[in-house]
Amino acid sequence: MEKTQEVELLPLTNDYVFKRVFTKDGQEDMLKDFLTGILNVQIDKIEIKNAELTKEHKDAKREVLDIRATINKNSLIDIEMQVKDYHNIDKRSMAYVTKLYSDQLEVGDEYKKPLKTISINILNFNYFKRNTYHSIGRMKFEKIEKEKYVDMGYEEEDEYVNEDIEVHYIELPKFKEKNPGVNSKLEQWLWLICGKGEKAEMAKKENKEVKKASDVLQKMSLSEQERWLYDSRKFREWDERSLREYETNEARQDGIKQGISQGERKAKLEDAKKMLEEGVELEIIERVTGLSKEEILNK
């Protein structure tokens, strides 16, 4: 009897893997089910806006790896997986969601109603001093001060300044510490994201979309090409982190930058060589390494 091929699964907590799994062609129902669990709303229609990997700008080193979609034609959703704590996720996420919202308003629109904009941040670290793994932020009014109270006869007062911007933070370590069951969609999806284990296996049995996502992840993990893309991004993140650490030492900054640049190019050429040998398409190698065709073929 032929043995089933066993392979170490790529981690869904990696932003590249996360985006690849949830934006595969024909897999919109998986993302719909996941978002239903987070937002607790009925989703009739979903449209993924940025399934392809793209550069942030022409000379950027980092791909844009968030997932952007519209649901029910009235809400713009952005989902990001954050692995490393850079101690600024609160400011970064607010800056990003407000930009997504304001970018919908073009000059001359006279502030016609844009889509509700929802930012979902899945964190592989604890950040907020809150006793919950799922925090939801909106722009609310503060409590009315007694000396400024005016009786206008409102039986029910407005609670929110604007309900068009909503930010979610899901802190995975807190979720694992709570160690819930697999009763809700959110619990089922978070157990899959947290990795293998009894609860993840239970989640796949309870939810067919979670099972489909697991199958996509398994197929990705068996692909040498996908593993190259995953490894290349991981190595590049290490390089970038090392560069940031070196830059804190001003006395050595210039020399170290030059050495790192040369070392990075050498490493990229080695990666390109190995990928060519493994039959990875030239276009993908260009995207991963940032090298030109000429550099790759004439290395």
Per-residue pLDDT reduced to its tens digit, 149-181: 999 999 999 999 988 999 999 999 999 999 999
**Per-residue pLDDT tens over the stretch 39-81:** 999 999 999 988 876 554 444 444 568 999 999 999 999 999 9
Q: What is the mean pLDDT of the chain?
A: 83
Helix (H) / strand (E) containing 137: strand 134-140
Residue pair 22/31 in contact by the 8 Å Cβ criterion: yes
DSSP state, residue 20: H
* Whole-number Å distance between alpha carbons of 68 and 77: 6
Strand partners, 117: 76, 165
**Per-residue pLDDT tens over the stretch 196-247:** 789 999 999 999 999 999 999 999 888 888 887 777 666 665 555 555 555 5
Which segments of the chain does DSSP mark as H helices, in order? Answer: 15-22, 28-39, 89-102, 172-178, 185-194, 198-206, 208-222, 224-247, 253-277, 282-289, 293-297
End-to-end CA distance of the chain: 45
Whether residue 9 is predicted with pLDDT greater than 70 in this model: the reply is yes
Strand partners, 139: 162
Which burial class, exposed, middle or buried, applies to 193 when counting CB atoms under 10 A from its CB (0-12, 13-18, 19+)? Answer: buried
What per-residue confidence (pLDDT) applies to 107?
52
Which segments of 80-166 does DSSP mark as H helices, in order? Answer: 89-102
What per-residue confidence (pLDDT) applies to 291?
81
* Joined tokens for residue 216: 């996509």
Give me the sign of the Cα torsion angle 10, 14, 20, 23. positive
Whether residue 147 is predicted with pLDDT greater than 60 in this model: the reply is yes
* Whole-number Å distance between alpha carbons of 76 and 69: 6
Whether residue 119 is predicted with pLDDT greater than 80 in this model: the reply is yes
What per-residue confidence (pLDDT) applies to 252?
53
Phi, psi values for residue 49, rounded to 5°? -95, -25
Closest alpha carbon to 260 in 278, 246, 277: 246
What per-residue confidence (pLDDT) applies to 249?
57
pTM of the model: 0.76
Q: Kind of pairing, strands 63-64 and 54-55?
A: antiparallel
